[in-house]
Amino acid sequence: MDFMAVQTEILILILLLATLVMDLAIAKGASRRPVAYLTAAGLAAIFAHTCGLFHEGDSPVFCMGLFIADNYALFFKQLFLLGMIFTVLFSLDYAEKCLTCAGEFYSLLLSALLGMCVMASANDFLTAFIGLELMTVSFYILVGFRLSSADSGEAAVKYLVVGAGSTAVMLYGISLVYGTGGSLDFAVVCQNVHLFYAAGLAGTVLVIVGFFFKLSVIPFHMWAPDVYQGAPTPVTALLAMASKAAGLAVFMRVLFAAFPFLGEYWLPVVAGFSALSIIGGNLLAIRQTDLKRMLAYSSIAQAGYMMAGIAAANYPGVKAVMFYAMLYVFANVGAFAVLSVVDAERGGTSQRHVTGLSQAAPLLAAVMTISLLSMAGIPPTAGFAGKIYIFTAAVDRGHLWLAFIGFVMSMISVYYYLQVTKAMYRDLAPEEEALAAPLRVPPAAKAVALISAAATLAAGICPEGLAILTNLASRTFMQ
Amino acid sequence: MTDPFSLTAMDIFRFATHIGLTHYLLLAALLFAIGLFGLLTRRGIIPALMCVELMLNAVNINLVAFNHYLPMPDHSGQLMAIFSIAVAAAEIAIGVALAFRVYRDRNTVNLDDLDHLKG
Q: Is the pLDDT of residue B119 over 70?
A: no
Is residue A4 pLDDT above 90, yes or no? Answer: no
The arithmetic mean of pLDDT across residues A74-93, rounded, is 95
**Which residues in chain A have Cβ-Cβ distances shorter than 8 Å to B106?**
150, 153-154
Burial of A12 (0-12, 13-18, 19+ CB in 10 A): buried
User: pLDDT by residue (tens digit) across A353-388?
Assistant: 999 899 999 999 999 999 999 999 998 899 999 999
Closest Cβ–Cβ partner in A141, A175, A183 for B62? A175
Cβ-based contacts of A147 with chain B (< 8 Å): 101
CA A344 vs CA A235, A277, A319, A348, B37: distances in Å? 14, 31, 37, 8, 41
CA-nearest of A289, A293, A371, A283 to A327 is A371
The answer to whether the CB of A108 falls within 8 A of the CB of A87 is no
pLDDT digits (tens, 9 = 90+) for B13-41: 877 778 888 999 999 999 999 999 999 99
Q: What is the mean pLDDT of residues A118-126?
A: 94
The number of helix segments (H) and strand segments (E) in chain A equals: 22, 2
Mean pLDDT lowest among A27-31, A86-90, A289-293, A406-410: A27-31
Contact between B94 and A136 (Cβ < 8 Å): no
Mean pLDDT score across all residues of chain A: 92
Q: Is the pLDDT assigned to residue A476 strictly greater than 90?
A: no
pLDDT at A390 over 80: yes
Across the interface, whether the CB atoms of B117 and A182 are under 8 A apart is answered no
Which pLDDT tens digit goes with each residue over A230-275?
999 999 999 999 999 999 999 999 999 999 999 889 999 999 999 9
Task: Provide the residue ranges of all domains of chain B, joining segments of one domain with +.
Answer: 9-113
Sequence ranges of the domains in chain A:
3-478
Share of chain B above pLDDT 70, in %: 94
The pLDDT value given to residue A167: 94
CB spacing of A229 vs B117 below 8 angstroms: yes
Q: Give the closest-approach CA distance of B21 to chain A in angstroms.
A: 10
Pick from B36, B59, B105: which is nearest to A171 by CB?
Answer: B59
pLDDT in tens, A300-309: 999 999 999 9
Q: What is the mean pLDDT of residues A53-78?
A: 89
DSSP category for residue B117: -
Nearest to residue A170, comparing CAs of B111, B109, B55, B23? B55
Q: What is the CATH number of domain B9-113?
A: 1.10.287.3510
Within a 13 Å sphere around the CA of A431, how many CA atoms are in the beta-carbon half? Answer: 0
Tens digits of per-residue pLDDT, B89-116? 999 999 999 999 999 988 888 888 888 8
